[in-house]
Chains A and B, each alone.
Chain A
């Protein structure tokens, strides 16, 4: 996430912004994303082993994992973008890697299909709605609470 290539182009800018190169110079970022992704995926896998969903049952564990990941990413991204600046590898490691690897959209989609195909369409719809509601409330809460803390800290002298 270097500022040079990630800068948002202003709408209506005179010259078109140059296309950022996708892979060039991304070695350290890719390494920390891979490491973080592995840690996040292991945490998600471990949660599934600790609290396995019953066969054909409601996937509470994945719902909890996704809601928790959304709460944390809301807090984390507000903290590093509106609060104290951090090393340039912190965001790809923790945000893109750990939290991206921890939460999952594919298991969410496939679990809805499983419930529907298993003859429980109402449970599938409930899971669909509960997850997205929990995720959005969580990310908003994480961001809003952190924003209050950041602003309160800024007002303090020193």
Chain B
């Protein structure tokens, strides 16, 4: 049952990342990987909400947290895009991607948890 919840979340999370990335990347001309940035920040916010309150059932955490948010967000593409920026001589963007993604992801995780504790406490 738990495995099925993870699968059910991931089969939506991974395509949502792919489509969001396509949608975002088609709408700007900068070399900055805004698509991956967007899914990582959005997923960190949702996981912040899901884990920010003790009131969320474990099965919902598996479906929405481990499955959906885990598959929506990615560290591998984030790292590879950073490497590619560095290799292409866009060192500033590479550093900005690392610092910006981590800062915004953390901000999103903390905000999500604050929303959760406001909603369920």
Binding site for B on A (CB under 8 A): 9, 11, 19-20, 22-23, 26, 29-30, 33-38, 40-42, 44-45, 48, 66, 69-70, 72-74, 77, 92, 95-97, 99-110, 112-114, 117, 128, 131-132, 135-136, 138-140, 143
Contact = CB atoms under 8 A, between A and B. Distances in A.
Given A41-B67, A104-B73, A104-B75, A143 B47 contact: no
B48 A101 contact: no
Nearest to A131: B75
Interface in B53-89: 62, 65-67, 69-80, 82-83
Given A103-B75, A136-B82, A92 B18 contact: yes
A110 B51 contact: yes
B32 interface: no
B106 to A, nearest CB: 5
B43 A97 contact: no
A102 B83 CA distance: 19
A41 B78 contact: no
6 contacts: A37-B14, A42-B6, A97-B14, A101-B14, A103-B75, A114-B51
Given A105-B105, A112-B106, A9 B70 contact: no
Given A37-B10, A41-B13, A106-B47, A23 B108 contact: no
Describe B's contact surface by its main secondary structure. Answer: helix
A101 B18 CA distance: 11
Contacts of B9: 41
Interface in B19-44: 19, 22-23, 26-27, 29, 40, 43-44
Contacts of A77: 80
A106 B18 contact: no
Contacts of B113: 110, 113, 117
A19 B98 contact: no
Given A41-B13, A92-B18, A72 B102 contact: no
